[in-house]
A and B are shown apart, each in its own frame.
Chain A
């Protein structure tokens, strides 16, 4: 008899686990971004990082990906505890526009300090102008509870 592994014992493929928040008891607040799985991108979600590297015959997609990873960690560390949602990165020609949604945890003067610091540091690091655009919300915007 052919020995076949029953489907229930197959290890779950990574495609069914990526970027999804598993349903729990109903007390876990989840933002719109987190609540939607990756197959909803371009249907119900937009992109978090916009650049032309992935178009046909355009170079630099891998470099952009590495830069994105660095930038996300950088902002997660620079604005400790006040990032309310994922960082959105938009690249227009040479310019890098970083859109952040922050909670109002820090007084505005401190936020401006961090903005000036981040803009200058990243400009000198990546040798391109970097601009931060902030939006503040009273708290994390919950889409649903899972």
Chain B
């Protein structure tokens, strides 16, 4: 992999390559919005895009037929509209059919109920198309599109609508002449999805009274509804057990989603969760169900409090995980073996690795991510956050040459360092006494756009000016100081100049003095500037300046310094005066 190239979605051109995380996000989003604009045009003017012959036929580029073909008030038309997800049209047609007295078959009514419960009485938008059988994962792409926020309710945030009292689904349900188990199940799932949990529970009681059997999806929905039905942890767990017992009684086989739903409920159960979840895992193993990433994620959450995780839709595919699944959840302090997570969770693992200070875990996680398709689980923003945490961990735990090697490889191609990363890097350099790398870090900082951040500038300046260094390095440091000075004074159109702080000012003065740049040192903040902004220079600064003046043999400067010290009323002015008199050859006038 080329360490200097940006992600392949960007054009390979120096003007168009993003230099920091904000730009990379901006460019990728603007490209995506361009695509959306094109899709809008294509939908608005389908008549220009209807040529359908193409040598290798690419189905996704072909025009879609979204208008219903069959006209007339009959069941076929209703079925077609349901298939095309046109909620309002189907409801109207159904009403027309009922008023006309035509009997609508049970299956069609059930599929209409499915549609209504899925979309919760709102219209379906073209982006939300999914398999009809796949009604269990409504919120997957919505949660992927959302900014990283806490989502404690699966899918309910994707449709903001709540279940209204007498909406179409309930109405149709009531007027149905006969209902079978499927109707009840659909209603229950719809209610759970749209946050009408108490109603869902009542509907379930009705189902039991009618002596129907619920299917596994309904039970999954009910189990996820448990935290909203009861308040106390024990009661929640009891209710979940009730549902599971019913499942056993009705001979419904639990699947992966069931166990994940149970674990998700246990997340909201506090201490009960911690004790019960190992049992759940054992059940899963007994039934030979492979745990998915979400399972691991729920487990991690239950055992590592204080992590914010957002459960995305439960993935029912099984990963081939060749690493030994050696997790021992009973002992979280034991450097618990990491698990791979869903598309929002690698971040949490990174955090946990940081908390546990375990670099080996981080390396293992990295290796696991590189295997196969596992990178696809995490999107670009999260990827940057993940790498940034990884880099922080590296800076904390590893030797400096390893850190520098990773740094060179990873930025800017894999991730863009955050300010915290740069601070960590500076501290690592400090710890390893490698301060000569600082000018190149400053170059990177400028490129990343961090050259106006006060905290970074302070850190940089204090590191540079703490001790005397050999000459070339001192010159390089002075050059950095000059850049920083330019930042502070810049009167460009867009940016207001930064305020000087006392320490920054004194550091810059020191650096200039040490490098022998007397003029700059005098000009910069020298004393005049100090007076301007009402700050007092430290004694160290004065001494250094005097040294510098001695080196470059400018007695005038020394005298100016003494005058300034006297005018500021500094206690050291006397000392400075005597030093000046001894060290310089002064003419009579100057005395």
Contacts and interface: CB of A to CB of B under 8 A. Distances in A.
Contacts of A119: 34-35, 38
Contacts, number: 84
Interface in A82-133: 94, 104, 108-121, 123-125, 127-129, 132-133
Contacts of A104: 15
B491 to A, nearest CB: 23
A135 B51 contact: no
A120 B429 CA distance: 47
Contacts of A108: 15-16, 18, 23, 27
B41 interface: yes
B100 interface: no
B27 A124 contact: no
B58 interface: yes
Interface in B23-64: 23, 26-28, 30-35, 37-39, 41-42, 48-49, 51-58, 61-62
A125 B41 CA distance: 11
A127 B27 contact: no
Contact of A136 (B15, B31, B32): B15
A105 to B, nearest CB: 11
A108 B39 CA distance: 21
Contact of A112 (B34, B39, B49, B56): B34
A119 B37 CA distance: 11
A112 B58 contact: no
B288 interface: no
B39 A111 contact: no
B48 A116 contact: no
Nearest to A116: B34
Contacts of B31: 112-113, 115-116
B34 A113 contact: yes
Nearest to B32: A116
B11 A110 contact: no
B42 A121 contact: yes
A124 B61 contact: yes
A125 B30 contact: no
A5 to B, nearest CB: 50
A134 interface: yes
A120 B56 CA distance: 18
Quick one: which of A104, A111, A119, A127 has the most chain B CB within 10 A? A127
B134 interface: no
Nearest to B58: A127
Contact of A121 (B11, B27, B41): B41
Interface in A21-35: none
B178 interface: no
Contacts of B61: 123-124, 127-128
B30 A110 contact: yes
B58 A128 contact: yes
Contact of A94 (B14, B52, B53, B56): B56
Nearest to B26: A109
B39 A120 contact: yes
Nearest to B15: A136
Contacts of B35: 116-117, 119-120
A64 to B, nearest CB: 13
A132 B38 CA distance: 15
Nearest to A100: B11
Contacts of A128: 54, 58, 61
Interface in B1-22: 10-11, 13-16, 18
Contacts of B57: 127
B13 A124 contact: no
A135 B48 CA distance: 30
Sorted nearest first, the 5 A-B pairs with minimum C-beta distance are A116-B34, A120-B38, A117-B34, A127-B54, A116-B31
5 contacts: A104-B15, A108-B15, A112-B10, A121-B42, A124-B42
Given A118-B38, A136-B16, 12 more contacts: A108-B27, A112-B34, A113-B30, A119-B34, A120-B35, A121-B41, A124-B49, A124-B61, A127-B54, A127-B62, A134-B11, A136-B13
